[in-house]
Structure formats: structure tokens, C-alpha cells
Chain A
Amino acid sequence: MMQINDPILTVDRVSKRFDVSAPWLNRVLEGKPRLLVNAVNEVSFTIARGSCFSIVGESGCGKSTVARLVTGLYATSGGDIRFGRGAEGRPVRVQMIFQDPHSSLNPRWRIGDIIAEPIREMKLRRDEAETTSRVEELLQTVGLAADDARKFPHEFSGGQRQRISIARALACEPELLVCDEPTSALDVSVQAQILNLMRRLQQELGLTYLFISHDLSVVRHMSDMIAVMYLGRIVEMAPVESLFNQPLHPYSQLLLNTIPDIHAPKRARCVDNGEPPSPLNPPSGCAFHPRCALATDACREAVPPLRDLSDGHKAACLLAG
């Protein structure tokens, strides 16, 4: 097993259950049971300082829930989230970049106030003059003009808003940035600009990213390590090239098959084998077995553990390796 020196984040068998039952009175009157969704199930991973760790998967697989668990917006239902050492001996600062640039900025606040909010809230600068100059510096860092601080969010395009969102996240000098699908609401040409900006910032500021996406080509561009999630569990975790060259789990193979390739159009690929089951009623054993061409009886009985199959390449499949 590849041991990570100086991890910035260790997620240890973390689970999250959501209660989606009907209100109490309806349950009593109509005899409905409690309904619990296991959005995240015993997920474990570590992120090395200065790297980019990506989580991919279809919608509803629990990847955004993992992001919110790490930032502390959700409390865990089980397991541990441990952070490494932060700069100057303080705890690691975690910030988040959100998916929807239209709802992540308060429409009634000026850009300057939006970016200054973390600075004011955490009292990172002594006075207003220092805060203002820090805001201008941040705006320039993300490629906007200093006098954009006076404008309102509706005066900006989606890509510019995402830059503002990044500037706000950088305002409190975080070490770990959790990016929840930061480019999925953007045009493809703008996506590349934002991703390049994020890479540049990673190099300049020594940031660590936890990058959540459903877009494998974006992930390949950004990451060092990739975890593939399916129905609340990590099914495969590997360094990026290893996963793209030799995916071990059938689900990862399915995901890679869905990427269109301009150099190999109309290649033979099997992408049509059903859709993810409801997390309210997950299949027994390996959650992927109803869609898996290779599934055996053993797959239907036990949940396969995440096994280390070759140097740092882990997969949760009984048949792999």
C-alpha cells in the first residue's frame, strides 16, 4: 500500500444517512415506515498535501455529500474526518467552490462585500483599508479587475462568477479547497479557462484540491488521484494514469467507455446497461451487480471490500485482479 506522507485530510470509514421519512403525523396515520437513505457508506481516503484528489460518479452517487461532509456543512453519521497540520500551527482551513455560479453569490451583495465576507467574518485584516486592498488583490489573482468590486453578481457571466467564487474561497487563505463540480454549469470553452486558473492557483499557493465531478475528461486534466463512487461507496481508487490506462472495476470501465474520443469515433463500446438503482433500496452484495455483465452469485451476496490490487490501485470487485 502506498503510504502518504503528511496527509492533509484523512477520511476514515465515513457514512452519512439522511432521514427522508414522511412527517411524524403521516407516519402514524398512514402506517408508513421511517425511510433512511445511505448517501455515503464507509468511505475512506487520504489526500496528500498539494495534490488534487478527485471523486467521480453519476449523479446521486453521494459525491457531493462527501464534499459537504468534508467542509462540515453536514455532520457525519459515522466514521472520522481528520485534518493534518495547517499553516502556522492553526487547524487546516477548508473552503468550498460551488457548482451553480448563479446561486452561490448573494444577488443583493456587491462583489467586494461577497469576497470580503470571509475576511471580515474571520477578522483576518485589521481594518477596512486592508480588507479593501486584499479584495482588489484577490480579484486580480483570479483575473478580474479591481473595480469589479463595486458591481453586483448579475453583471457577470457564469465563468466570471465562478472566478468570484474562487476569489471568495481564497479570501481566508485556505489550504484545502473542496470543489463541487465547479465547471459543470459552464460552457466548454469557459470550463478550460477556469480549470487552468485553478491549476495555476494550485501551483502558486500550494493548494490541495478535493475535486468532485462527473466529467472524466475534466478530472483527467486536474487530478493526481481518482476515486470512483457508485451508490455511496468508493468502488475504485487509483493514480490518474493508472485508472485511465487500466480500469479494474467494471463500473470504471463503463464510465471510461462513455467518454467520446475524437481520434476513435464509432469505436466498439458497451455503454447501455441500465441505470443506477435507488439508494433507498440498494441491491444486495455488490451494488453494481444488476448492471454488471460479469456478475456471479458471489457478487449478489457479499459487499466486495476495496482491495489493493497493484501499487496504490484499489478496486472493490471480487473478479478484478
Chain B
Amino acid sequence: MTDTRTQPETTRAPLAARLARIADSDLWWSFKNSKSAVGAAAVLAFVTVTAFLAPVLAPQNPYDLAALELWNAELPPVWMQGGQMPFVLGTDVQGRDILSGILYGTRISIFIGIASVAVSLAIGLLAGLAAGYYGGWIDNVLMRIGDVLLSIPIILAAILVSSVAQALLPPELREAGIAAVLVLAIALYSWVQYARVVRAQTMVERRKEYVQASRLVGTPGRRLMLKHILPNTLTPVFVAATLNFGLAILIEATLSFLGVGMPPNQPSLGTLIRVGNQYLFSGSWWIVLFPSVQLCILVVAVNMLGDWLRDALNPKLR
């Protein structure tokens, strides 16, 4: 939207006033008073910050094959017999530092989670708005497409999409394109949820009198949808988006674990778990355990935050 009239003088509040409004809101009060929400947010912030500071924090660059030394292979964590610094959590069979792998892998997992939520939100909001606002055949077509997509098990659908896309991509794009394909595969499935939520809310909002009042002065449908209806449908969407962020990370990990996700030279948490799984029975448990714990912490924190948000935004539970 480049329409300058949509950012009128009266809506612009100074940053300090905005922060004061947030600090004064019910949501912030509920957040402060929920131990699980504050805890989950702190854990999530810690995991995210360490992941994005990986190039600074990690003892090793796991993508740099030249930095790997084979005599460092399969070292146990430092507190065990044979462990050595700087490989705090041990190394894998190629001499790759597990901690560095986790930090870089978490970064990829979070990136794929955010990107797939963003893409599916974009599709879902537009589809839901159009279906709820116009109704009729547009509604029918969009929602039936959604029903069909939801009737296919997500893992199968994602495997199908990512393997077909990887086969179709030219070899030089394959490496770079995998993350994008994964994002699309996950988004293709999860937009339906947002579309359903937004559609239902749009059907309620578009009958309200403020929409009629705006229509009376000749506001075109597109602006009615984006400026009036959409902001009033977003509350349940935020909850769904938070929970889906955790789900997207899990789906990506599952796909990587099954071998259709991120390749071993660009490992996500799922790839690390898959690689490590092969050495579990040879006694090198640390290769698989630590990435799994990280994945678990990340998803549990996201889900706890999502659960809190769902309760905090539910007017019936106040």
C-alpha cells in the first residue's frame, strides 16, 4: 500500500506513547502475571538470540568443510572421558562441533518456521477475506480447495511437494532452493487454517454497521476489506500463527529427518537428528540427543506462548 492517505496525521502517535499504550494494555498485564508465558518468552528469546548470533558464538563454522578435522570425530561432551575443548557437546563423525551445529541448525529451523508462517498467513488472509467478503462461488472454490488440501496427510503432501520440486529444480539451484521449497510445502498446507478463521470472522464483521457506514461514503471493497475488516479478524489469527510456528518447525524437522528436507551440508535441527540417529547404536548418543533436546525446548516454548496467548485473548476466560 503506497496510498499516503492511509497513514493520516491523526493515527501517528509518538513511539513513547505507543509503548505506554502497550504497557497499559490488558495483554501486557496478563503476560506479566503469567509465569509460564514469561518463562516461555525468555527461553524463546534466549534460543533465538543465540541462534542468530551463531557466527559470533559458535566455536566452529559447521558449513566450512576446511575447518573440520577428522581426528576430532566422535568426541564425547567435555565432561566425559575423552572430551576436549572447545567441543563442549562433543562432535559428530566428521569432526563437526555439535554445539555449533545446533546453533546454526536452530537458525535454519527458526527461519523456515517464520518464513512458512509468513507465506501461509499471506495466502490464508487473502483467501479468507475474499471467501468471507464475496461469498458465493469464490467462497465455495477457495474453501473446497482448502478441504481437499486438508484431506491429504501433511507429511505425505510435503514429501510429495519437496521431492517433486527438488527433481524439477535445475541442479545448480537445488541447494539454494531447498529452503524455499520446504517453506512452500509447509505453507501450502497451513494457509487453510488461517483462511477458515478469517473467513468466519469476515462474515461476521462485514455485516456490522461500521462497514455499512464506510460503504455509504463509497469506500471500495478492497479498502473495506483491508482497512476495516482485516484488523478486526486478526486476534484469533495471531494465536493460530504462534501455534503454527511451532508446528512448522516440527514439520520441517520431520521432513529433514526423513531425508527430503535440508541437506547435511546445510543442516537444520531435523537433519542433525537424522544424521545422529545413525550413530545412536554405536554409542555416540550425544550426536542425536542434544539437537533433539534443542528442538524440544524450542517447540515447547513456542507452544506455551501460543497457549497463553489463546487464553489471554479469549474474552470468556477473563
A binds B: yes
Name A's B-contacting residues (CB within 8 A).
68, 71-73, 94-96, 98-100, 103-108, 110, 112-114, 116-118, 120-122, 128-129, 131-132, 135, 149-150, 165, 168-169, 172
Q: What is the 8 Å Cβ interface bit string for chain B, positions 204-218, against chain A (1 contact, 0 not)?
A: 000011101111111
Q: Return chain B residues, CB-CB under 8 Å to A110.
A: 10-11
How far does the alpha carbon of A165 sit from the alpha carbon of B212 in the complex, in Å? 12
Q: Return chain B residues, CB-CB under 8 Å to A117.
A: 214, 217, 219
How far does the alpha carbon of A149 sit from the alpha carbon of B10 in the complex, in Å? 7
Q: Is B153 engaged at the interface, CB distance under 8 Å to the other chain? A: no
Q: Do the beta carbons of B232 and A106 come within 8 Å of each other?
A: yes
Q: Do the beta carbons of B218 and A122 come within 8 Å of each other?
A: yes
Given A106-B228, A110-B11, list of 11 further CB < 8 A pairs?
A73-B212, A98-B213, A104-B209, A112-B8, A116-B10, A118-B217, A120-B8, A121-B217, A122-B218, A150-B10, A168-B213
Q: Which residue of B lies closest to A123 (CB)?
A: B5
B312 vs chain A, min Cβ distance (A): 18
How far does the alpha carbon of A152 sit from the alpha carbon of B209 in the complex, in Å? 17
Q: Do the beta carbons of A120 and B10 come within 8 Å of each other?
A: no
Q: Return chain B residues, CB-CB under 8 Å to A73.
A: 212, 215-216
Q: Do the beta carbons of A95 and B219 come within 8 Å of each other?
A: no
Name B's A-contacting residues (CB within 8 A).
5, 8-11, 13, 208-210, 212-219, 228, 231-232
B115 vs chain A, min Cβ distance (A): 27
Q: Do the beta carbons of A128 and B209 come within 8 Å of each other?
A: no
Q: Return chain A residues, CB-CB under 8 Å to B215.
A: 73
A98 vs chain B, min Cβ distance (A): 4
Q: Do the beta carbons of B8 and A96 come within 8 Å of each other?
A: no
Q: Which residue of A lies closest to B13 (CB)?
A: A150
How far does the alpha carbon of A151 sit from the alpha carbon of B240 in the complex, in Å? 30
A73-B216, A121-B218, A172-B217 known; A106-B210 Cβ under 8 A: yes
Q: Return chain A residues, CB-CB under 8 Å to B5.
A: 120
Shortest beta-carbon contacts, A-B, top 6:
A112-B10, A104-B209, A98-B209, A118-B217, A106-B210, A108-B231
Q: Do the beta carbons of A100 and B8 come within 8 Å of each other?
A: no
Given B10, B212, B213, B232, which contacts A108 in the complex, CB threshold below 8 Å?
Answer: B232
Q: Do the beta carbons of B9 and A103 come within 8 Å of each other?
A: no
How far does the alpha carbon of A100 sit from the alpha carbon of B207 in the complex, in Å? 13
Q: Return chain A residues, CB-CB under 8 Å to B9.
A: 128-129, 131-132
How far does the alpha carbon of A117 sit from the alpha carbon of B114 in the complex, in Å? 35
A119 vs chain B, min Cβ distance (A): 9
Q: Return chain A residues, CB-CB under 8 Å to B216.
A: 71-73, 94-96
How far does the alpha carbon of A108 sit from the alpha carbon of B231 in the complex, in Å? 7
Q: Do the beta carbons of A103 and B208 come within 8 Å of each other?
A: yes
Q: Do the beta carbons of A98 and B232 come within 8 Å of each other?
A: no
A165 vs chain B, min Cβ distance (A): 8
Q: Return chain B residues, CB-CB under 8 Å to A114.
A: 210
Q: Which residue of B lies closest to A169 (CB)?
A: B213
Q: Return chain B residues, CB-CB under 8 Å to A99.
A: 209
Q: Do the beta carbons of B232 and A107 come within 8 Å of each other?
A: yes
A235 vs chain B, min Cβ distance (A): 28
How far does the alpha carbon of A113 sit from the alpha carbon of B11 in the complex, in Å? 7
Q: Which residue of A lies closest to B5 (CB)?
A: A120
How far does the alpha carbon of A105 sit from the alpha carbon of B212 in the complex, in Å? 10
A120-B8, A149-B10 known; A100-B219 Cβ under 8 A: no
How far does the alpha carbon of A126 sit from the alpha carbon of B1 in the complex, in Å? 21
How far does the alpha carbon of A255 sit from the alpha carbon of B129 in the complex, in Å? 44
Q: Return chain B residues, CB-CB under 8 Å to A98.
A: 209, 212-213
Q: Return chain B residues, CB-CB under 8 Å to A169.
A: 213
